[in-house]
């Protein structure tokens, strides 16, 4: 059996919080008079909070101190967390839940590998707290994707080698991170079109076909 575990990115794979990221960054950008649109928001996929802020500040002509930047990121996060409060178990699609359950029943270990420091709160909103065997997120890493740290930590928490895990991603940075860590990857959306991705998917449940092709007896 090629894979024994699946490591899932969170935003863009298990759930979709881009709209909340967008609204929260937009509020901050508007207050500072910075141009911000959905296209710029797309560049923030899989990127850490402080790196996202730097991308938004490319359109700002004033220099800010590290303290000021940190305060802006904190403010954005407060707005974002408030918006996340609107999420309910209904934001978890039937397709995602059924696929996760099938993988679990087939004996795979399941983990999260996300850049978000709000991972645990989001999982709680979705009714997935205590569901995963391991969670590696923005709170336990010092380098963000495309560095492989978040996935290497997830594999370490599961006590698996990278070659035994499949990473599921929606962002190019995540696919590159997986490759650099020695993981195969399955991509959705932008990640599916990436040259570096191992398997391209049209929808989340395609994962079942991928693991079946790599495993006897499922």
Contacts to ligand B16 by CB under 6 A: 9-12, 21, 44-49, 52, 77, 114-118, 138, 171
Specify the length of the chain in residues: 218
In the complex, least distance from residue 153 CB atom to ligand B16, rounded to whole angstroms: 13
Q: Which is nearer to ligand B16, 188 or 211 (CB)?
A: 188
Q: Which is nearer to ligand B16, 167 or 210 (CB)?
A: 167
* Active site annotation includes 61: no
Q: Take residue 19 and report the two structure tokens written for it.
A: 């709209």
Q: What is the DSSP letter of 3?
A: -
DSSP 106-149: TT-EEEEE-S-TTHHHHHHHTT-TTTSSEEE-TTS-SS-TTSTH
The 3-class SS string of 52-88 reads HHHHHHCCCCCCCCHHHHHHHHHHHHHHHHHHHCCCC
Of residues 138 through 177, those in contact with Mg ion by CB under 5 A are: 170-171
- Asked if 79 and 25 count as a contact pair (C-beta separation under 8 A), the reply is no
- Rounded Cα gap, residues 194 and 187, in angstroms: 8
- Asked if 204 and 191 count as a contact pair (C-beta separation under 8 A), the reply is no
In the complex, least distance from residue 137 CB atom to ligand B16, rounded to whole angstroms: 8
What does 21 interact with, of ligand B16, Mg ion, none (CB < 5 to 8 A by kind)? ligand B16
* Active site annotation includes 11: yes
What does 118 interact with, of ligand B16, Mg ion, none (CB < 5 to 8 A by kind)? ligand B16
Of residues 42 through 101, those in contact with Mg ion by CB under 5 A are: 46
Q: Which is nearer to Mg ion, 5 or 168 (CB)?
A: 168
| Binding residue count for Mg ion, defined by CB under 5 A | 6
Q: Which is nearer to ligand B16, 59 or 106 (CB)?
A: 59
Which residues are part of the catalytic machinery?
9, 11
Interacting residues toward Mg ion by CB under 5 A: 9, 11-12, 46, 170-171
């Amino acid at each position: 059996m090629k894979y024994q575990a699946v490591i899932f990115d969170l935003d863009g794979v298990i759930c979709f919080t881009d709209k909340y990221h967008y609204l929260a960054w937009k509020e901050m950008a508007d207050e500072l008079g910075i141009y911000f649109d959905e296209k710029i928001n797309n560049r923030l996929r899989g990127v850490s909070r402080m790196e996202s802020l730097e991308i938004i500040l490319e359109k700002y002509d004033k220099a800010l101190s590290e303290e000021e930047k940190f305060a802006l990121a904190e403010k954005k996060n407060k707005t974002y967390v408030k918006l996340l409060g609107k999420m309910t178990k209904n934001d978890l699609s039937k397709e995602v839940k059924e696929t996760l359950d099938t993988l679990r029943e087939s004996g795979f270990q399941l983990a999260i590998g996300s850049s978000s420091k709000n991972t645990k709160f989001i999982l709680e909103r979705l009714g997935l707290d205590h569901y995963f065997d391991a969670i590696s997120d923005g709170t336990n890493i010092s380098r963000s994707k495309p560095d492989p740290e978040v996935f290497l930590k997830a594999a370490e928490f599961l006590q698996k080698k990278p070659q035994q895990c499949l990473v599921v991603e929606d962002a190019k940075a995540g696919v590159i991170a997986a490759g650099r860590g020695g993981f195969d990857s399955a991509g959705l959306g932008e990640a599916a079109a990436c040259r570096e991705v191992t398997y391209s998917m049209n929808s989340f449940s395609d994962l079942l076909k991928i693991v079946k092709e790599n495993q006897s007896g499922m």
